[in-house]
Amino acid sequence: MYKATIGVVLGVSKTGQSLTAQLVSPSGTPVGSLISGGFVEIGQGNYMWTYDQFPASFRGGVKFFSGNNLMAFMTINPELLEYVDAPISSRLTSAIKVPTFSIPVVADEGTPVVFRQTDDYFASEGRSIDVASEAWPPLGEAVVRLTVKSKKPGFTKVLPVLPDNTVRLELSSAELAQMGSGRWPFEINTRLANDHLLTLLKGIFSVVAPFN
């Protein structure tokens, strides 16, 4: 089993909600019982859910409810939550070393992270993607780079490291247009101060084309 923290964005009109979560299989069948714990309201209709009983290699999704009302849904893929450059569960450790994500974008089934090509994703609107893991060494002055295998010649960007060792990804609509619409593999890598190379995260971006 592994532990993960997930951002749930409902909007400013949905404050004060008592949320529950239900894991579902890729076919939509409920997995286990309804989960009521682990929710923290951040403000402005934003919530954070931490759960430490994800089955190893679990693939499917999670439905978020307020009462009987379905409020949000996101996919769960082991490539994005359980894995960095190796399964977290395969490492000898006395502490849980799992990436913590804040992903305020809606993902279609089977798609790890979805962006609209015409949207901007900045922290000022609460739309950045913040990634952290206890498995990482202190990044300090390390250069952290996002590489996306999109339309030639591909896309790269240097990412800032926040004081708490969190890597922040912000993307503008212009940068998404540069990637182009499609499903693109990505990696976040770093070169440490000792010149050692380290893969921090890998997964899939899906960039949705604008309306005609």
Q: What is the pLDDT of residue 210?
A: 79
pLDDT in tens, 157-190: 999 998 888 889 999 999 999 999 888 888 899 9
Other beta carbons less than 10 A from residue 16's beta carbon: 7
Higher pLDDT among residues 72 and 96, named by residue: 72
pLDDT in tens, 27-66: 889 999 999 999 999 888 889 999 988 887 788 889 999 9
Query: What value does the mean pLDDT take over residues 88-100?
Result: 37
Q: What is the pLDDT of residue 112?
A: 60
Q: What is the average pLDDT score of the chain?
A: 80
pLDDT category of residue 104 using cuts at 50, 70 and 90 = very low
Distance, CA of 162 to CA of 1 (rounded, Å): 28
Distance, CA of 170 to CA of 77 (rounded, Å): 22
% of the chain at pLDDT higher than 70? 83
Return the amino acid letter for 91.
R
Query: What value does the mean pLDDT take over residues 135-151?
Result: 88
Q: What is the pTM of this model?
A: 0.49
* Helix residue spans in 7-144 (DSSP H): 78-81
pLDDT category of residue 146 using cuts at 50, 70 and 90 = very high
Angle at 163 between CA 129 and CA 198, to 5 degrees: 70
